[in-house]
């Protein structure tokens, strides 16, 4: 087993060295990037990452709004000034109406506070109030005030939104925090795809240019053989046709590379006019992935796992609300304080009179034709449907994780096989080229060797793409960094 790993490592090292030689020949104005650098740039600069950050900030302020509902609320209200000069109708004892002039100022200030009680759904409140009335026609001023008053209002048999929000809103906030991490990991997956799109285009261009150069060298040798009568004119024409195909392949590969480079720049937000060359990523990662470990991290970290709990809680809340909204509305309010009216401001606060209020407001439905019962039954049915849906989603959740672990292991093995195939195809192509030069191989067999060599190189890059795509998908599904052995987090 160790021998096999050593052999695979040496093989991948040879392939990487071959690519590094090519990149070392790049112009000085070429920017060489690794897969990890591209992913890091995308997480920092891409529009998708900025959108994820904006959504996170929005969810944070929604959380702050929810938290404010449980804090004391202080407000100042009033009418200042309340000046009026007009005529108003006044009903006389004999039933007639007279229009009397009115010229006054009726100003009011009210400072109040309130505090919701999550356990009961009630509200504790307090107030202090001052009113001034100026009658300009009679040159008279009157003050009326309530130095202070406190009270409590309790809804009876009503839906307690504060209580349910306290259960659900923290789940939604934690879900949004994990969703932000998932969004950035999804950016990593998309960045990886863009990276390999460009890498494959560069490999295709490199292969096409190499094939064109080799074809031109073979044509030179073939022309010498034609003069010696060792090959036919038909074989020369076949080589010329291969040369035209090689030139066309170079043009197509160059176009595809430019398009892939533009797409990479657009997604990662990369600025600058320098050319981009990508380094070949590693063919393996020194990690061990077990299904149980990945599944445990997924349940601990994923927003979906939090959403399972949140969706069930929301369904229970809907049932509770349907049962409470049965048409019976009642509220008990009690208030205790002091108030006084006086002609002078200072007198309002001297020996004020007691003020009490006890009030029960209610509405009782007599006949609703089963409306309340229907709403409750609907909510209960929806709760049961939600429970079934959550259970199904849990099964899919588990299956995704287990499948991805298996896929990751398979892709790791595929890289090894693709590397071996690429090595064999390259060696076979070199032998075929040498045999053709010596004259003991047909042009058809040489063409087959060229095609197999080209395809083996593409297959190796595609296997790397699948391997790293599976790795980033594994990170996305678990929100766990298997290299650092820690949960993924972002500031």
The pLDDT tens digits of the residues spanning 312-323 come to 999 999 999 998
How many structural domains are present in the chain? Answer: 2
Determine the average pLDDT of the residues in 144-157.
90
For residue 491, what are the CA distances in angstroms to 257, 477, 480, 488?
35, 20, 16, 10
Q: Does 99 reside within a domain?
A: yes
pLDDT band at 25 (very low <50, low <70, confident <90, very high): low
Indicate if the pLDDT at residue 84 is higher than 80.
yes
Contacts of 158 (CB under 8 A, 6+ apart): 121, 324, 329, 330, 331
294 and 353 together in one domain: no
Report how far residue 149's alpha carbon sits from residue 75's, in angstroms, rounded to the nearest whole number. Answer: 15
Determine the average pLDDT of the residues in 234-255.
87
pLDDT band at 28 (very low <50, low <70, confident <90, very high): low
Residue 27: the pLDDT is 58
59 and 111 together in one domain: no
The bridge status of strand 140-156 relative to strand 123-135 is antiparallel
Indicate if the pLDDT at residue 62 is higher than 60.
yes
Averaged confidence pLDDT in the chain: 87
How would you class 224 by CB atoms within 10 Å of its CB: exposed for 0-12, middle for 13-18, buried for 19 or more?
Answer: exposed
Residue 8: the pLDDT is 47
Q: Does 20 reside within a domain?
A: yes
Neighbour count for residue 97 (Cβ, 10 Å)? 9
Determine the average pLDDT of the residues in 33-40.
93
Q: Does 60 reside within a domain?
A: yes
Residue 465: the pLDDT is 93
Report how far residue 381's alpha carbon sits from residue 80's, in angstroms, rounded to the nearest whole number. Answer: 54
Determine the average pLDDT of the residues in 217-224.
80
Q: Does 225 reside within a domain?
A: no
**For residue range 402-433, what is the model confidence (pLDDT) as tens digits?**
999 999 999 988 998 988 898 898 888 888 88
Residue 26: the pLDDT is 55
Q: Does 210 reside within a domain?
A: no
Residue 312: the pLDDT is 96
336 and 291 together in one domain: no
Q: Does 387 reside within a domain?
A: yes
**For residue range 472-491, what is the model confidence (pLDDT) as tens digits?**
999 999 999 998 889 999 87
Q: Does 207 reside within a domain?
A: no
* Of 281, 284, 278, 265, nearest in space to 201 by CA: 278
Determine the average pLDDT of the residues in 315-343.
89
357 and 421 together in one domain: no
Indicate if the pLDDT at residue 470 is higher than 50.
yes
Q: Range with the lowest mean pLDDT among 11-25, 63-77, 367-381? A: 11-25
* Of 200, 166, 368, 403, nearest in space to 298 by CA: 403
Determine the average pLDDT of the residues in 274-284.
87
Token pair, residue 91, equals 């009903």
Report how far residue 353's alpha carbon sits from residue 340's, in angstroms, rounded to the nearest whole number. Answer: 6
Domain encompassing residue 449: 2-65+166-200+248-313+381-487
* pTM reported for the whole predicted model: 0.83
For residue 117, what are the CA distances in angstroms to 153, 160, 443?
10, 10, 89
The bridge status of strand 30-33 relative to strand 275-278 is parallel
Which CATH number characterizes residue 406's domain? Answer: 1.20.1600.10
Determine the average pLDDT of the residues in 29-35.
86
Determine the average pLDDT of the residues in 193-197.
95
């Amino acid at each position: 087993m160790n021998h096999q790993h050593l052999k695979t490592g040496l093989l991948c090292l040879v392939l990487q060295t071959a690519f590094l030689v090519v990149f070392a020949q790049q112009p000085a104005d070429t920017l060489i990037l690794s897969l990890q650098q591209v992913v890091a740039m995308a997480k920092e600069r891409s529009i998708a990452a900025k959108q994820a950050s904006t959504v996170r900030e929005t969810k944070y302020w929604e959380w702050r709004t929810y938290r404010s509902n449980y804090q004391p609320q202080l407000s100042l209200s009033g009418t200042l000034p309340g000046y009026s000069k007009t005529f108003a109708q006044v009903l006389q004892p004999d039933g007639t109406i007279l229009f009397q002039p009115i010229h006054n100022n009726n100003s009011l200030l009210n400072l109040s506070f309130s505090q919701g009680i999550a356990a009961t759904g009630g509200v504790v409140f307090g107030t202090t109030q001052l009113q001034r009335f100026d009658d300009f026609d009679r040159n008279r001023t009157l003050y009326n005030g309530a130095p202070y008053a406190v009270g409590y209002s309790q809804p009876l048999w009503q839906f307690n939104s504060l209580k349910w929000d306290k259960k659900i809103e923290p789940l939604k906030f934690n879900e949004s925090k994990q969703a932000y991490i998932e969004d950035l990991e999804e950016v990593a997956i998309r960045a990886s795809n863009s990276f390999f799109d460009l890498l494959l285009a560069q490999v295709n261009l490199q292969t096409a240019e190499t094939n064109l150069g080799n074809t031109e060298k073979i044509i030179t040798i073939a022309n010498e053989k034609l003069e010696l009568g060792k090959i036919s004119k038909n074989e020369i024409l076949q080589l010329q046709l291969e040369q035209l195909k090689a030139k066309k392949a170079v043009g197509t590969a160059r176009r595809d590379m430019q398009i892939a480079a533009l797409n990479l720049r657009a997604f990662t937000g990369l600025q600058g006019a320098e050319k981009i060359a990508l380094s070949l990523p590693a063919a393996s990662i020194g990690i061990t992935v077990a299904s149980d470990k990945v599944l445990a991290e997924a349940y601990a970290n994923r927003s979906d796992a939090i959403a399972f709990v949140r969706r069930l809680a929301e369904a229970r809340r809907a049932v509770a609300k349907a049962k409470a909204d049965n048409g019976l509305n009642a509220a008990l309010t009690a208030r205790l304080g002091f108030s006084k009216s006086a002609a002078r401001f200072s007198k309002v606060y001297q020996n004020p009179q007691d003020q009490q209020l006890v009030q029960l407001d209610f509405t009782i439905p007599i006949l609703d034709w089963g409306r309340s019962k229907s709403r409750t039954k609907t909510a209960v049915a929806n709760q049961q449907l939600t429970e079934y849906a959550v259970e199904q989603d849990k099964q899919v959740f588990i299956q995704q994780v287990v499948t991805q672990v298996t896929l990751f292991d398979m892709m790791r093995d595929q890289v090894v096989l693709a590397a071996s195939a690429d090595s064999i195809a390259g060696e076979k192509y070199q032998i075929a080229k040498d045999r053709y030069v010596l004259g003991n191989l047909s042009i058809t067999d040489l063409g087959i060797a060229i095609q197999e060599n080209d395809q083996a190189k593409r297959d190796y890059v595609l296997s790397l793409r699948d391997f790293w795509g599976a790795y980033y998908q594994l990170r996305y599904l678990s929100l766990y960094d298997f290299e650092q052995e820690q949960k993924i987090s972002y500031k």
